[in-house]
């Protein structure tokens, strides 16, 4: 993007005196990527019910209360413009506020509120008839319709209409795997909000504060800074660090605890996944060694990132499950881990020893993904957890997550 370096995070307001995110260019890029995916996967159209896919395709958003309830849906045909069927009055709001959508293609829709409306009302059948009619009008009724996630009554109703339904999620993930400069800027802006949040956490982290207090602090900080949605704040301390429970508690943090945090939030839809680890007051035996090992593993992965590298080459840089206390790669999944990040927290590529060794994927310029490592300490309960979000550039990896993590930081040291 002209006027800003890759991964920069300019102000989040639109201004007339500086080039920032160009939302029209962003919308056009995303629809073009889906069109290309339709061609690549030989699809006549794609029907999307996953909220991230709906936003990617239609640039509509009605709040996270509607997230993945299989109520909203969107459509793109091979030669047409995006359609959206939305919740009640949201359709009218889009006609008034979203001029990039043809007004006649923003409609109220209802698939039955996840089954809460009795299927005998025929809502799925009505939707299927409408969708089949659109496909017929464009000469696509015999062509494959890709569907990303399944609403079973709708699937059966589409089949009854003679529509050939196939997996459309792979096409959507292919479209979303390469980020344009505007997307990368939004990801950097989201990360900058977490940078600031970690500064507040570091300043407040001391004996007597509870894990849930940190969750509350992080939510306040992020929403104040402009976050659209805080999906989760993992807040883990002391004996809860190993094995990683993936959920916070009301545990009171004590002197010498190791504590790690993961912050997942969205700004303009684009997400973070951003771990940091601290010691509280003072460090205990083995904590710094564990941190250094986790840092070595993540630095090795970052150094290896460049276009043309395959994900198995990254996964082999990380230890097998048995080397850090797990019986299988299934149980260790998500600890030595890489995953694409964008409008969802888990996109392409996914890098782990579970899937990448035998099914490697090529890393491409423009991919943005998080790399995360975990190392248990010799005390048997502490552990280090580090995560960096990176952009694959022609010259290697550019890091978006900037809160210091080169060595174990001790909060409120004695």
pLDDT digits (tens, 9 = 90+) for 24-65: 999 999 999 999 999 999 999 999 999 999 999 999 999 999
CA dist., res. 179 & res. 199, Å (int): 28
Please, what is the end-to-end C-alpha distance for the chain in angstroms? 46
Which of the four CATH numbers 3.40.350.10, 1.10.10.10, 3.40.50.300, 3.10.450.50 does domain 23-176 have? 3.40.350.10
Q: At CA 369, angle to CA 226 and CA 300, rounded to 5? A: 125
Closest CA to 399 of 278, 298, 316: 298
CB atoms within 10 A of CB 335: 24
Instruction: Kindly give, in sequence order, each residue whose CB lies less than 8 Å from that of residue 399, ignoring residues fewer than 6 positions away.
Output: 7, 302, 388, 389, 390
**3-state SS string for 16-48:** CCCCCCCHHHHHHHHHHHHHHHHHHCCCCEEEE
pLDDT of residue 337: 96
Q: Which residues in the chain land under pLDDT 70?
A: 1-5
Tokens of 78: 């091979």
Q: Between the CA of residue 391 and those of 9, 186, 350, 386, what are the distances in Å? A: 14, 13, 14, 17
pLDDT of residue 302: 98
**CATH code 3.40.350.10 region(s) in the chain:** 23-176
Instruction: Kindly give, in sequence order, each residue whose CB lies less than 8 Å from that of residue 182, ignoring residues fewer than 6 positions away.
Output: 1, 21, 22, 23, 25, 26, 29
Let me know: does 397 contact 305? Beta carbons within 8 Å.
yes
pLDDT of residue 8: 81
CA dist., res. 139 & res. 143, Å (int): 8
Closest CA to 374 of 268, 273, 293, 316: 293
Cα torsion through 53, 64, 109, 36, rounded to 10: -10
pLDDT of residue 68: 86
pLDDT of residue 5: 62
Helix segments in 59-180, DSSP class H:
90-97, 123-137, 152-160, 169-176
In the chain, the largest separation of any two C-alpha atoms, in whole Å, equals 73
Chain centroid to CA 291: 25
Closest CA to 354 of 375, 340, 337: 337
Q: At CA 139, angle to CA 134 and CA 144, rounded to 5? A: 80
Closest CA to 269 of 8, 18, 76, 23: 23
- DSSP annotation of 372: E
**CATH code 3.90.230.10 region(s) in the chain:** 181-411
Q: What architecture is domain 181-411?
A: Alpha-Beta Complex (3.90)
Let me know: does 263 contact 222? Beta carbons within 8 Å.
yes
């Amino acid at each position: 993007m002209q006027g800003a370096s890759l991964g920069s995070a300019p102000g989040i307001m639109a201004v007339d005196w500086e080039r920032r995110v160009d939302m029209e260019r962003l919308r056009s890029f995303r629809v073009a990527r889906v069109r290309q995916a339709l061609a690549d996967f030989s699809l006549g159209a794609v029907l999307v019910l996953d909220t991230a896919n709906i936003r990617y395709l239609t640039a509509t958003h009605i709040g996270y209360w509607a997230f993945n309830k299989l109520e909203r849906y969107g459509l793109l045909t091979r030669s047409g413009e995006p359609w959206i069927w939305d919740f009640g009055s949201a359709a009218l709001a889009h006609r008034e506020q979203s001029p990039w959508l043809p007004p006649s293609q923003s409609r109220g829709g209802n698939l039955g509120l996840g089954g809460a409306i009795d299927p005998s009302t025929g809502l799925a059948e009505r939707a299927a008839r409408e969708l089949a009619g659109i496909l017929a009008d464009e000469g696509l009724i015999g062509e494959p319709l890709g569907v990303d996630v399944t609403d079973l009554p709708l699937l059966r109703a589409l089949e009854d209409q003679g529509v050939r339904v196939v997996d459309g999620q792979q096409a959507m993930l292919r479209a979303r795997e390469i980020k344009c400069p505007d997307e990368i800027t939004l990801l950097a802006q989201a990360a900058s909000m977490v940078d600031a949040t970690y500064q507040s956490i570091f300043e407040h982290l001391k004996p007597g504060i509870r894990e849930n207090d940190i969750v509350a602090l992080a939510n306040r900080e992020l929403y104040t800074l402009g976050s659209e949605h805080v999906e989760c704040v993992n807040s883990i301390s002391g004996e809860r660090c190993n094995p990683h429970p993936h959920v916070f508690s009301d545990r009171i943090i004590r002197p010498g605890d190791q504590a790690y945090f993961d912050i997942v939030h969205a700004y303009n839809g684009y997400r973070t996944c951003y771990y940091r680890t601290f010691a509280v007051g003072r460090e205990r035996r083995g904590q710094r060694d564990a941190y250094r090992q986790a840092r070595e593993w993540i630095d090795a992965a970052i150094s290896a990132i460049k276009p043309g590298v395959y994900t198995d080459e990254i996964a082999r840089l990380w230890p097998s499950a048995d080397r850090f206390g797990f019986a299988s790669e299934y149980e260790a999944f998500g600890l030595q881990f890489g995953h694409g990040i964008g409008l969802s927290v888990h996109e392409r590529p996914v890098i782990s020893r579970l899937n990448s060794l035998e099914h490697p994927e090529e890393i491409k310029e423009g991919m943005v993904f998080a790399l995360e490592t975990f190392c248990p300490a010799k005390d048997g309960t502490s552990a280090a957890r580090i995560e960096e979000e990176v952009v694959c550039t022609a010259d290697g990896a550019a890091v978006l997550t900037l809160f210091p993590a080169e060595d174990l930081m001790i909060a409120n040291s004695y």
